């Protein structure tokens, strides 16, 4: 096993958690041979230093805390080389209420009041769609009014 590629991989992982695909891409850009990269990735997975399931769950938590919805999170994880079954499992394990998140996102940007007219409502809906929420989550967020006490 090549120590230089192992050290390079460990430096990359020390900065932040990566998916297997991301690490492979970075090691290829650094000029390492394909066979060595595959060997290192398997070795790091055996040691649990590289774990796509853990990466997906941490990524989901991180992006949800920044007001991103399920669709956008899934798209970004796919771009990072995480398989759809791992993404689905991560979403189930993290157990987020995306309806509440959509409402919180709407409130942080536009306030808790209902939209005054169609233009304001459509602006809110476009914003939430851009953030990655589903149509049902968006509809809930723009139409929900907490009960007044």
Report pLDDT for 2. 81
Mean residue pLDDT of the chain comes to 93
CA distance 77 to 60: 9
C-alpha closest to that of 55 among 21, 26, 102, 30: 21
Report pLDDT for 149. 47
CA distance 132 to 68: 6
Report pLDDT for 98. 95
Report pLDDT for 3. 86
CA distance 8 to 76: 25
- Per residue in 65-95, pLDDT (tens digit) is 999 999 999 999 999 999 999 999 999 999 8
CA distance 57 to 83: 13
- Per residue in 30-67, pLDDT (tens digit) is 988 899 999 999 999 999 999 999 999 999 999 999 99
Task: Give one word for 24, left, alpha or beta, with left for phi > 0 and alpha for psi -120 to 50.
Answer: alpha
Domain regions of the chain by residue span: 3-46, 52-94, 98-143
Q: Which fold has domain 98-143?
A: Arc Repressor Mutant, subunit A (1.10.10)
Contact in structure between 16 and 48 (CB atoms under 8 Å): no
pLDDT at 118 over 50: yes
Contact in structure between 64 and 105 (CB atoms under 8 Å): no
Q: Considering just the CA atoms, what is the radius of gyration of the chain in Å?
A: 20
Report pLDDT for 95. 87
């Amino acid at each position: 096993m090549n120590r230089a590629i192992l050290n390079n991989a460990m430096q990359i992982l020390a900065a932040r958690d990566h998916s297997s695909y991301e690490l492979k891409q970075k090691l290829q850009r650094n000029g390492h041979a394909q066979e060595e990269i595959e060997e290192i990735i398997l070795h790091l997975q055996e040691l649990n230093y590289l774990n796509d399931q853990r990466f997906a769950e941490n990524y989901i938590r991180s992006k949800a805390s920044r007001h991103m919805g399920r669709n956008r999170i899934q798209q970004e994880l796919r771009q990072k080389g995480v398989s759809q079954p791992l993404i689905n499992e991560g979403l189930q394990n993290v157990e987020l209420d995306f309806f509440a998140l959509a409402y919180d996102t709407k409130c942080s940007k536009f306030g808790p009041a209902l939209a005054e007219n169609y233009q304001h409502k459509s602006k809110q809906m476009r914003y939430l769609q851009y953030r990655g929420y589903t149509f049902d989550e968006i509809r809930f967020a723009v139409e929900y009014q907490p009960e007044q006490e």
